[in-house]
Every structure is written in C-alpha cells, then in structure tokens.
Chains A and B, each alone.
Chain A
C-alpha cells in the first residue's frame, strides 16, 4: 500500500485500537493472565524452586508450606516447580498445533475463496469430513497408533485446527473479494495469489488472530486430556494432564496434587478465552456481540 493517506488512517487506526483495547476489561485481564502464564513457562527454563526430576522420598506428600508453596507429590517432587515446567509443555503443544492449523488451513481457505466453484466445493467438503470426526477420540487414535508423546499430540490436535482455520479464512475472504479495492487490484493485473497476499490476508488477519486465541485455549484443554490418559508428554517431562492422573489415586491424602494442575489449566484457559473475547470486541466492533 503506497497511498500516503491510507497509511495515515492505518496509523490512527492502530492508536485507536490500542486505546480501545486498554478500555476493554476482558482484553486487559486476559492479556495479563496470558502474559503471566507465558512468563512462568519461560522462567522455568532457567529457574524453578526445585529440580523436578529429583525424587526426595523423605519429603513426599508434604502439604503446602514456606519451603514447598503448593506442597509435594508422592515422589517428594515440588508441585510448584512441576506446574511451572508443565506450563511450557501445555503452551508449546497448543501453540504449535495452532501454527499447524494456520499454516495449512489459511492457505486452503484463501485458495477456496479465490477460486470458488469446484475447488471450493471439494475443499469445503473435505473440511466437513474432518469435522465429522470426534476430535478427542481421533486424537487418542492418532497418538495411540503412532506412539504417545508431545510431538504426536501436537499433530493430532493440529489436524483438527486445519478445517477450523480453513473455514474462518474462506468465510472472511469471501466477504472481501467483492469489495471495490479488490476490483481495482484486479484491474491493475495482479494475480489471485498476489491479491490474496497483499489485500485479502491483511484484511482477515483480525479474525484469524481471534480464532487463533480460541484454538489455543482449546488446545490447552485437549493436551491436558491427552496427557491425562497417558498419550501426551512422557515422563520425566511434567505435564498438567499427567499430574492429574497421578493425583487421582492420592485424592484423599494429598488433594493439593489434583487441585494445583486443575487450577493452572483453568487460569490459562480462562485467560486465553478472555483475551479472545476482548480481541474480538477491540478489533472488529462490527462483530461485537453481547456475550
């Protein structure tokens, strides 16, 4: 976009958006929670209160105290440290799964919208078929067959993000194509691919960002479910889901083992959902719904 006027409005738009964002309670609360969780995950790379791979049987099943903020588990591992490291597993899996969805789904959706007709029909039917597969059941099937582990969990969750982003991208792109500035781009001889890159994508990025946040939070829940049944990250890497499955038999003697990972999941998912809601209101006031 070389038009100076257009740049000026975009700049104003940006300042306007930031101002609106800071006034949006969902957005601010969601952003603060999400950034905190990400910071905790990053800090865990360089520092955790205790080494989570070290088993200290003498310290097992300690209740929360000054030395162990959330207590210890049945192997004497510090639960707070495990929650910190678990955060990085959850975030990594969900984030890469969203990236897979965007990198594969968005081109498919944009292609369908640009070509219409038979290609559109085939691609959208394809996404209907993926939607018919119960996501969690299929993810269990994929991880169980190709072996449990974080990488296969990412793939299993990522596959189900593809049709989601394809649909959102197609729907949004279809509403942009009939606009006048696309017509003028066409008249200047630009190819469909170039129009998509230069004009369609920047205009649908808002919606993709909102959807990305939603899929991120769903990914956190899905990863927790998969690792709860033993198909996610493998020991000794801590994951919130597996911490919950280990806690199951200890509920009566050490409830902190079950409560801590659950609360960690809830806070993370809540933060992302609030962020997504806030983003939707901030970026696209036209779409604003009273939800």
Chain B
C-alpha cells in the first residue's frame, strides 16, 4: 500500500506541476501589457511602470513562473490588484461559500439518487423502473442554471420562502446562510442526482448477475438480504467514483449557478477577476481549483486501493 501511495503521489505532483505551467502559459498569451490592461487606457506611464515592477513583469518568464510557484507552495498566492488584498484572503472568504455549497449539493443528490437507484434496480423491468429512468433522462437534459431560474421564480419571487440571491455570511447565523444556499444546491443537485441514480441502478444490476449473488441466492438467503448485504456493497465502487468526480466538479463547476444567485463563491471570484483583468487572481485561483480537483481524485483512488487490494498492483 505504501509503495502504491508513493507512486500515485509522484504522478499527482507532476500533474499539478504541469497544470500550473499551463495556467501560467495561457495567461501569458493574453494580448497586450497586463499592467496596462489592469490600469486601463488612461493610466500614466509611471503608474504602469510601477505596476510592472510590483508584478515583476520585467523578469524573464521562467524566473516569474518559478517565483510564483514557490510563493504558491509557501501559501502566498500574490496580491489582488482590484481589491488590493492578498489573494489568500479572497480565497478564504469564498471557500466558506463554495465548499458548503458543494457538500450540500452532493448530500442532496446522494440522498435522492442512491435510494432511487436501489429501488429501480430491485424493480428492474417494471413500469416503475421505466418511468423513473425516463425521468432521469429529463434530469440529465435540464440545464442546471435554467432549473435555478425556475426555482427562483417559484420559491423566491412567488412564494417568498427563500431569498432570490446573495449570501448573508455565516456570521448572520446558520439558518439564513443555509437558506440562501438551498436553491443553488438543489439546482446543482438535480442533474447530478439523475446521473448518480442511473449509475447506482446499473452498477447494482451488474453485480446482481455475478456468480456470488447466485450462490447467495442458491443457499437460500432472502432476496432482501442478498440485495442489501451482498450486491450493494460491491456496487458502491462505481457509485463512489462518480461521487468523487461530482464533488470535484461541484467545487469548481458552479461558476454559472453562482452567477444566477449572486453567490460570492470561488467560481464567481474567478469570473469577476477575469472581467476586471485581475490576472494574478485568475492564475492563482484557477491553479488552486485544479490542484483541488487532482487532490480529490487522488483521495478517491486511495480509498479504492484501500478497499480493493487488487487495484494496488495495477501499473497505472
């Protein structure tokens, strides 16, 4: 297990390094002088020169990349030009919105999808099964931001149960904060739940065809026990993979939903920084998000290797 972890960790670090290089390189191709872009066309040459110096723009590329990378590793993500605060502070402010939102959406999707998946698998071939699967096809096809607009219309504008957007902050208490995260989380959870319930169903149906299930049935175990004790545990592996991927997606992929609800999350931070051409924020936050996605996938892999020793011996 130890050798496996070390080997996987080496790949993870190389991937992160390559990803940071890509982000850095992409932002170098932005046409024009970044300092001039940030300050606008009316800025004096002096101001531009000052900013160039402050951003070390006159250093050679590889020096700038390495300085930035070393600073990132040490926890210094640079200073936002627009807000004149350390990027680290901005990230800290936003992460307490994005992570709870992702967790809430994942929880909602899981508590709906897994029971639905198990239920339909146990009623395989019946009309209920067909109808539920048709419903999940719709769930996958619905753009989450459109669903979000409908939710706002019904629950915020018409019924006035929850706010239509914005985030009061956690200091206002747990309930008001959760209330403003509820609709975005439901909107994010819908397509995820549709996908997850289909995966659960098909994973379960696949395991139900395995030899050991036939054995369990043959020795006279009740169907319920076979389903819950034998099939479900083995079917959970693909389900957990998808959940890992979905969590990684939710961390960074909520950019549009955050825009619908004016939520101050990480996605919106990047979105605004791009519009204000606050390039250091874009560079650092995108790199952090990519690193987070890689880290989550790594943890999911470790969880499997721990659960299923056969996977450790695989070369990749």
Contact = CB atoms under 8 A, between A and B. Distances in A.
Do A and B pair up? The answer is: yes
Interface of A: 125, 128-129, 132-138, 140-142, 144-145, 217, 221, 224-225, 228-229, 244, 247-248, 251-252, 255, 258, 261-262, 265-267, 269-270, 273-274, 289-291
A224 B297 CA distance: 28
Given A141-B274, A145-B26, A258-B146, A125 B255 contact: no
Contacts, number: 123
B143 interface: yes
Contact of B202 (A134, A228, A290): A290
Interface in B106-151: 124, 133, 137-138, 140-143, 145-146, 149-150
A142 B286 CA distance: 12
Interface stretch (B14-22, B48-56, B304-312): B14-22
7 contacts: A129-B22, A136-B256, A137-B253, A140-B270, A140-B271, A255-B153, A262-B149
Interface residues of B, number: 50
Contacts of A265: 141, 143, 146
Given A244-B145, A248-B149, A265-B143, A291 B253 contact: no
Contacts of B201: 290-291
Interface in B231-283: 248-249, 251-253, 255-256, 259-260, 267, 270-271, 274-275, 282
Shortest 5 CB-CB distances between A and B: which pairs? A134-B252, A269-B141, A262-B146, A144-B274, A270-B141
Contacts of A258: 146, 149-150, 153
Contact of B252 (A137, A144, A273): A137
B293 interface: yes
Contact of B15 (A129, A138, A251, A252): A129
A289 B19 CA distance: 35
A29 B142 CA distance: 18
Given A258-B153, A266-B142, A270-B141, A137 B289 contact: yes
A280 to B, nearest CB: 12
Interface string B18-54: 1100100011001000000000000000000000000
Given A145-B274, A251-B152, A137 B286 contact: yes
Contacts of A129: 15, 18-19, 22
Contacts of B227: none
B157 interface: yes
Contact of B255 (A140, A261, A270): A140
A133 B141 contact: no
A125 B275 CA distance: 32
A273 B140 contact: yes
Nearest to A259: B150
Contacts of B282: 141
A229 B267 contact: no
Nearest to B199: A291
B252 A290 contact: no
Interface string B58-73: 0000000000000000
Contacts of B226: none
A290 B124 contact: yes
B188 interface: no
B294 interface: yes
